[in-house]
A and B are shown apart, each in its own frame.
Chain A
Amino acid sequence: MTEKIRTASRHISRDEGLIFEKSSPGKRAFDLPPLDVPETDAAKALGGKYRAEGVTDFPEVSEIEVLRHFTRLSTWNYAIDLGMYPLGSCTMKYNPRVNELVARLEGIATEHPFQPQSLSQGCLKIMQMLERCLLEITGMDSITLQPAAGAQGELTGLLLIRAYLEQQGNARKKVLIPDSAHGTNPATAVIAGYEVENIKSDAQGQVDVDKLRELVTEDVAALMVTNPSTLGIFEQRIADIAEILHARGALLYMDGANMNALAGVARPGDFGVDVMHLNLHKTFSTPHGGGGPGAGPVAMKKFLAPFRPVPVLVEKSNGELALESDRPQSIGRLKAFCGNFGVLVRALAYILAYGPGVRQSTEDAVLNANYIRKHLEGAFTLPYALPSMHEVVFSDAQQKTKGVNTMDIAKRLIDYGFHPYTTAFPLIVPGALMIEPTESESKEECDLFIEAMRAIAEEAAQEPDLLQHAPHSTRIGRLDEVTAARKPRLRWVRGGSGAAS
């Protein structure tokens, strides 16, 4: 390890038990204003449905204890705010704080979805503006902001396809999915009532177009393609792919998880995509928040618009905006109310900050990925040589010979102060290291990452044991996941194990 490389060091990290273990009867952290009406006798009002004893073992702590408890817990997390978070396919970019502020404004955060639409014009204008921006970025004709996340966006897209094909007389049976796809794609196709047929990628890691031509029969409803693929490579024959599908009456669905490689540079609507989803929590910077919330708007060509989920945002002749639910051709409702509105607000704030400059952000994301690729080639095996866009995928082939795998490298990266890249995905690359720096990383941060990765490659050759037992700098080491799954303990129980059988 050279002196130059910064490694992680510990700072104050207090042990902190479960909140339930700190509880003591009679403490409280929340006061309500006094009741200003006569108190109702709950036992009488609720009869046999009265919970006389209250919630057993619910925490009883004070405000300072709550604040410290969660603040201490927070210090055990890695975060974008602390450094590079190069999770491939996750697009962990900077989350601007102004977006948090505007989503919390009175008049935005306070609005009720069933309030009169005459009092909701502000919210509806935000939705309309976001719709317009996303249509411009994707080059599509129509959009829905309803889906709660990418996976629900996928379902929406497939249901739109199904509804359209049904109208044509045959919903068809199968959805084709490349073997490099995200797991949500096949899981979603099943919920939409389709069988999944996997397509093997060709030697370049691209959709095998000849194979596709054979597979697209009258039974095929759609191909779900991620573009750029999960290898970070643009599907160069995307127009041919679209043509093959369309010639047989099938449609092209694009998983927009990797839109961070395209925004401002190329538009799916221009290269034959019929319907696609966007992950606002990836490309459009709404915070991942430890796993959500997200939002998965679905953009489509005109012929799919009649089938959009309800409610649909419409502009009335007097210029007033409204949400319409009476749409006979609609695929129905995906979630209650009108999308993850608070997430939509943040995404619009992000887009407004860039405007047409979103192209610069895409360019920087691609620049970072290629810069890292250039400096790590050789140290790690590059299984597919086509040009990378916003992410690069290596394999652990060289390190395997020393008994070190991608997970070991990832864990060691923690000791250097970085969050690991995505491990073991996509599945078509054995021992994958999937690295997506995003545009949010400076040259300095990229250089530090490169140095760390190169140092780890050295260590893998010299002291594989160091990697196999990494991380060494965290407050806990690798956890026994096998026992955790075999004898799950999924909640705290007073004096008990909390085990689930």
Chain B
Amino acid sequence: MRYLPKSPAERSEMLAAIGVESIEELFSSIPEKFRLREALNLPGPLSEAEIIEYFKQRAKESAAGYASFLGAGVYNHLRSVVTDTIIQRGEFLTSYTPYQAEISQGTLQAIFEFQTLMCQLTGQEVANASMWDGSTATTEAVLMAERITRRRRVLVARSVHPEYREVLATYARNSGLTVEEVPFAADGTIDQVAIGTALGDDVAALVVQSPNFFGAIESVGVLAELAHSRGALLVTAVAEGVSLGLVRPPAEADIVAMEGQSFGLAPSYGGPFVGVIATHEKFVRQMPGRLAGQANDWNGRRGFVLTLAAREQHIRREKATSNICTNQALCALAATVHLTLLGKEGLREMAQQNLSKAHFALTELEKIPGVRRAFESPFFNEFTIALPRPVESLNQQLLREKIIGPLALDAFYPELPDHALVCVTETTTRDQIEKFVSEVRMAVALAGDRR
């Protein structure tokens, strides 16, 4: 077997050195009746060429070659080959969590840079590295708010990503947290009147997403004031990080839970991505996850080290701030390299292209009779439209033209039938947008005729 570096002779030599006759003897501590007598029924062994062929076949049964208008928490953005070149360096790819600082300075300094970039983007003072994704980061942010406030009620905007809310529900169920939903207003943002009614002195956190699931950008400053007026914290989830190149950062939020997929990570059918929690300095000891800090060695040289480990499970066990151990380090590195490549100008230009193309798409769609913008709030690269016909059947028609249409919202929001969430990024070409719009126009006209 090509991955195993031993010859039969070496195996025999080693067995002899140990003082056993056969390899069987080394497994003698497993009760006889539990030792397998037969080989497992597994496919393989396959050569490298066969492995590649197997996955190439699977890759054919895919959406390759389709134009897509899906976002909803996973975004197609340009990536540089430099990012992949760096993260495939064995020194990064095949190293462990940097507990041994002297021989892990590469990973540690990169984490420190990641933390800095996340703070710059979010307007917060500290950021961890890392959480599993945006959904679990949001949940961990809520649990953190509970620890800080010692309160047990949580208000979550209905316009937060539905799957993020489901994850929160899974974790909250056994932790004594009560999670209540706050509806959205006519403009797609959280209903501030409803917040006023629901807020009380027992609320740990108000949780919003911005841009929210419908694409609408929330007024984080106003919401923070509202939450703070009753001693609650504002948790703001950010699912589309590129928005922060143009949209005011959620600096007034107490905790920001961000999904970093947009920073150089492939959609990869939903993962692996990278979650981040960013917050104020005063809350750092209640944060989950790993943190790298600057330190000096015995000679006064600058280095970096994992720090504040007294929060973590390997030290605190059942009293830890979280059970997270393995995180998404390599994805965090990819995000660090990607954002460094983009830089100040590149990020801004990418964000500007998203904004422009999404607004262009909406303008074109609004020209179709019967199609209207559902919510009037400012948006970034996603917006919600109302159609005169069911989205699912429209999407079936689009598929024939090799277009993956927008997300039908009724699966998550029964109150929004015939509503679709459209995403347009810098990777969507004008041709694709125009073709999509013309297909929608035809489909809507056809449906109108039938009615």
Q: Do A and B come from one complex?
A: yes
Contact A191 B175 (CB under 8 A): yes
Tell whether B445 is near chain A: CB-to-CB under 8 Å: no
Bound CA–CA A125/B267 (angstroms): 18
Contact A150 B326 (CB under 8 A): yes
User: Which B residues from 401 to 427 make CB contacts under 8 A with A?
Assistant: 404, 407, 426
Tell whether B127 is near chain A: CB-to-CB under 8 Å: yes
User: Which B residues from 60 to 94 make CB contacts under 8 A with A?
Assistant: 60-64, 66, 68, 70, 72-74, 76, 78, 80, 82, 84-94
Whether A485 contacts B293 in the complex (CB less than 8 A), given A54-B348, A95-B93, comes out as yes
Contacts of A36 in B (CB 8 A): 429-430
Contact B247 A51 (CB under 8 A): yes
Bound CA–CA A242/B76 (angstroms): 48
Q: Mark B313-329, 1 if CB is under 8 A from A, else 0.
A: 11111101011111111
Contact B26 A29 (CB under 8 A): no
Whether A359 contacts B132 in the complex (CB less than 8 A), given A73-B110, A419-B103, A490-B284, comes out as no
Contact B100 A78 (CB under 8 A): yes
Contact A186 B318 (CB under 8 A): yes
Whether A39 contacts B271 in the complex (CB less than 8 A), given A30-B346, A291-B329, A367-B11, comes out as no
Q: How far is the CB of A42 from chain B (nearest CB, A)?
A: 5
Contacts of B19 in A (CB 8 A): 374
User: Which A residues from 54 to 95 make CB contacts under 8 A with B?
Assistant: 54-61, 63, 66-67, 69-71, 73-82, 85, 87, 90, 92, 94-95
Q: How far is the CB of A385 from chain B (nearest CB, A)?
A: 11
Contact A186 B317 (CB under 8 A): yes
Bound CA–CA A184/B64 (angstroms): 40
Whether A45 contacts B359 in the complex (CB less than 8 A), given A112-B70, A154-B323, A187-B317, comes out as yes
Tell whether B187 is near chain A: CB-to-CB under 8 Å: no
Bound CA–CA A254/B91 (angstroms): 32
Contact A46 B62 (CB under 8 A): no
Contact A49 B291 (CB under 8 A): no
Q: Which of B133-141, B150-158, B199-207, B227-235 lies on the face that meets chain A?
A: B133-141
Tell whether A148 is near chain B: CB-to-CB under 8 Å: yes
Q: How far is the CB of B98 from chain A (nearest CB, A)?
A: 6
Q: Which of A211-219, A328-336, A395-403, A451-459 lies on the face that meets chain B?
A: A328-336
Residue of A nearest to B113 (CB): A19
Contacts of A77 in B (CB 8 A): 91-92, 95, 98, 103-107
Tell whether B350 is near chain A: CB-to-CB under 8 Å: yes
Q: Among A54, A103, A136, A425, which residue has the most Cβ atoms of chain B within 10 A? A: A54
User: Which A residues from 425 to 471 make CB contacts under 8 A with B?
Assistant: 425, 439-443, 445-446, 469, 471
Q: How far is the CB of B242 from chain A (nearest CB, A)?
A: 11
Tell whether A288 is near chain B: CB-to-CB under 8 Å: yes
Tell whether B36 is near chain A: CB-to-CB under 8 Å: yes
Tell whether A152 is near chain B: CB-to-CB under 8 Å: yes
Contact B353 A35 (CB under 8 A): yes
Q: How far is the CB of A499 from chain B (nearest CB, A)?
A: 8
Q: Among B82, B315, B333, B344, which residue has the most Cβ atoms of chain A within 10 A? A: B344
Tell whether B171 is near chain A: CB-to-CB under 8 Å: yes
Contact A356 B96 (CB under 8 A): no
Contact A71 B89 (CB under 8 A): yes
Residue of B nearest to A195 (CB): B318
Q: Which of B44, B72, B105 contacts A76 (CB 8 A)?
A: B105
Q: How far is the CB of A361 from chain B (nearest CB, A)?
A: 6
Contact B95 A233 (CB under 8 A): no
Q: How far is the CB of A287 from chain B (nearest CB, A)?
A: 5
Whether A74 contacts B86 in the complex (CB less than 8 A), given A336-B167, A442-B5, comes out as yes
Q: Which of A32, A120, A184, A191 contacts B62 (CB 8 A)?
A: A120
User: Which A residues from 38 to 55 make CB contacts under 8 A with B?
Assistant: 38-40, 42, 45-51, 54-55
Contact A18 B297 (CB under 8 A): no
Bound CA–CA A183/B323 (angstroms): 8
Contacts of B253 in A (CB 8 A): none
Contact B270 A113 (CB under 8 A): yes
User: Which B residues from 124 to 166 make CB contacts under 8 A with A?
Assistant: 125-127, 130, 132-136, 161, 163-164, 166
Q: Which of A193, A264, A290 contacts B333 (CB 8 A)?
A: A290
Q: Which of A40, A264, A439 contacts B40 (CB 8 A)?
A: A264
Q: Mark A337-360, 1 if CB is under 8 A from B, else 0.
A: 111111101000101111111111
Contact B89 A74 (CB under 8 A): yes
Residue of A nearest to B93 (CB): A287
Bound CA–CA A490/B339 (angstroms): 18
User: Which B residues from 35 to 69 make CB contacts under 8 A with A?
Assistant: 35-36, 39-46, 48, 50-52, 54-64, 66, 68
Q: Among A75, A239, A337, which residue has the most Cβ atoms of chain B within 10 A? A: A337
Q: How far is the CB of A194 from chain B (nearest CB, A)?
A: 8
Tell whether A155 is near chain B: CB-to-CB under 8 Å: yes
Whether A108 contacts B59 in the complex (CB less than 8 A), given A32-B353, A55-B347, comes out as yes
Contacts of A151 in B (CB 8 A): 313, 323-326
Tell whether A3 is near chain B: CB-to-CB under 8 Å: no
Bound CA–CA A295/B130 (angstroms): 15
Tell whether B1 is near chain A: CB-to-CB under 8 Å: yes
Q: How far is the CB of A376 from chain B (nearest CB, A)?
A: 12
Contact B90 A351 (CB under 8 A): no
Q: Which of A245-253, A298-306, A474-482 lies on the face that meets chain B?
A: A474-482
Contacts of A446 in B (CB 8 A): 14
Residue of A nearest to B170 (CB): A332
Tell whether B276 is near chain A: CB-to-CB under 8 Å: no
Q: How far is the CB of A291 from chain B (nearest CB, A)?
A: 3
Bound CA–CA A353/B125 (angstroms): 46
Tell whether A308 is near chain B: CB-to-CB under 8 Å: no
15 pairs of residues in contact across A and B, judged by CB atoms under 8 Å: A37-B357, A55-B347, A59-B343, A105-B59, A107-B62, A108-B58, A152-B136, A187-B320, A267-B36, A290-B98, A290-B110, A356-B44, A370-B26, A478-B298, A488-B307
Q: In the complex, given contacts A414-B103, A442-B5, what are 5 additional A-B residue pairs having Cβ atoms less than 8 angstroms apart? A: A129-B43, A184-B314, A267-B36, A370-B20, A490-B291
Across the A-B interface, give the 3 residue pairs with the lowest CB-CB distance, nearest first: A355-B44, A337-B270, A289-B330
